[in-house]
Amino acid sequence: MIVCKSAAEIQRMRPAGRLVADVLAALRAAVQPGVTTADLDAIAERPIRGAGGVPAFKGYHGYPATICSSVNDEVIHGIPSKRALEEGDVVSIDCGAVLDGFYGDSAITVPVGPVSEQAAELLRVTEEALHKGIAQARPGGRISDIGHAVQRHVEAHGFSVVREFVGHGIGEKMHEEPQIPNYGEPGRGPRLVEGMVLAIEPMVNAGKPAVKVLKDGWTAVTRDGSLSAHFEHTVAVTAGGPEILTTLDGKSH
């Protein structure tokens, strides 16, 4: 069942979204060679708890940390550790928080110092694909319009869309219906209506789309060892178009 939110509930979701946006801005600024992913995790947890929030991921099905930090060929769900970032790496940081009973969820992929041309293009195209998908989050459309827009943009640049993981509805639970694949034909799936709140999150590989999960039970990596990028926003479907709840300005672009 897809839970549509009232205007009052979406208003209550905005602080959680802004908190996540603030944390990701701080993490982006902290990324540099020599910083460990555990350092980033600590930087994330303090402001979430300081704002009266709870890290959404910590303890979720046993997950041990506040953020997911996925480096290079790691797609999603990388566990923070003493691994130090090196110049030329890319690190995907996924962060969620619960505030006033509602969830915010967002992700960015950040270059560590200067990176290769391919890595820079992968990050640019994945973030652009996110916004292509968000632009489809309008009343009257279909869920598959979002994934189709993502896939078309990604593949036009020679990259591939991960199939095994999807975006999702979000609200009083982190994962709600509907699921939102990042690929597919347009015009299919549930109709988009005002009040839906969606976590839209392209996961894009420089090589082939196939992934595998490591023995830790969490970290998903590309099967061919290619780089991967991940960008995500929590987005409300409104009569006036998509509203991004996990930006500092609330604008859709």
pLDDT, average across residues 61-67? 97
- Whether 52 and 97 have beta carbons less than 8 Å apart is answered as no
Give pTM, 2 decimals. 0.97
pLDDT at 113: 97
Percentage with pLDDT > 90 across the chain: 97
- 253 domain residue, yes or no: no
Centre a 10 Å sphere on the Cβ of residue 3 and count the other Cβ atoms it contains: 15
pLDDT, average across residues 215-238? 98
pLDDT, average across residues 69-80? 98
- 206 domain residue, yes or no: yes
Average pLDDT score over the chain = 97
User: pLDDT grade, residue 146 (50/70/90)?
Assistant: very high
Give me Rg for the CA atoms of the chain. Answer: 17
Residue 251 has pLDDT above 70, yes or no: no
Q: Scanning the structure block, which residue is given the tokens 């973030």? A: 127
pLDDT, average across residues 60-89? 98
pLDDT at 250: 55
- 116 domain residue, yes or no: yes
DSSP the chain: -B-PPPHHHHHHHHHHHHHHHHHHHHHHHH--TT-BHHHHHHHHHHHHHHTT-EESSTTGGG--SSEEEEETTEEE-PPP-SPBP-TT-EEEEEEEEEETTEEEEEEEEEE-SS--HHHHHHHHHHHHHHHHHHTT-STTSBHHHHHHHHHHHHHHTT-EE-SS--EEE-SSSSSEEEEE-S-S-SS-SSBP-TT-EEEE--EEESS-S-EEE-TTSS-EEETT---EEE-BEEEEEETTEEEESSSSS----
- 194 domain residue, yes or no: yes
pLDDT at 253: 42
pLDDT at 248: 83
What are the angstrom distances between the C-alpha of 33 and each of 22, 83, 85, 201, 221?
Answer: 22, 11, 5, 26, 22
Give the count of domains, the chain: 1
Residue span of the structural domain in which 80 resides = 7-244
Tokens for 54, please give them: 């709870």
Tokens for 185, please give them: 């034909």
- 2 domain residue, yes or no: no
User: The CATH number of the domain where 37 resides is what?
Assistant: 3.90.230.10
- 201 domain residue, yes or no: yes
pLDDT, average across residues 21-38? 98
- Whether 242 and 234 have beta carbons less than 8 Å apart is answered as no
Percentage with pLDDT > 70 across the chain: 98
Residue 252 has pLDDT above 50, yes or no: no
At 177-214, the pLDDT tens digits run: 999 999 999 999 999 999 999 999 999 999 999 999 99
Backbone angles phi, psi at 75, to 5 degrees: -85, -60
- 222 domain residue, yes or no: yes
At 92-101, the pLDDT tens digits run: 999 999 999 9
Cα–Cα distance for residue pair 79/69, rounded to 1 Å = 6
- 249 domain residue, yes or no: no
At 147-184, the pLDDT tens digits run: 999 999 999 999 999 999 999 999 999 999 999 999 99
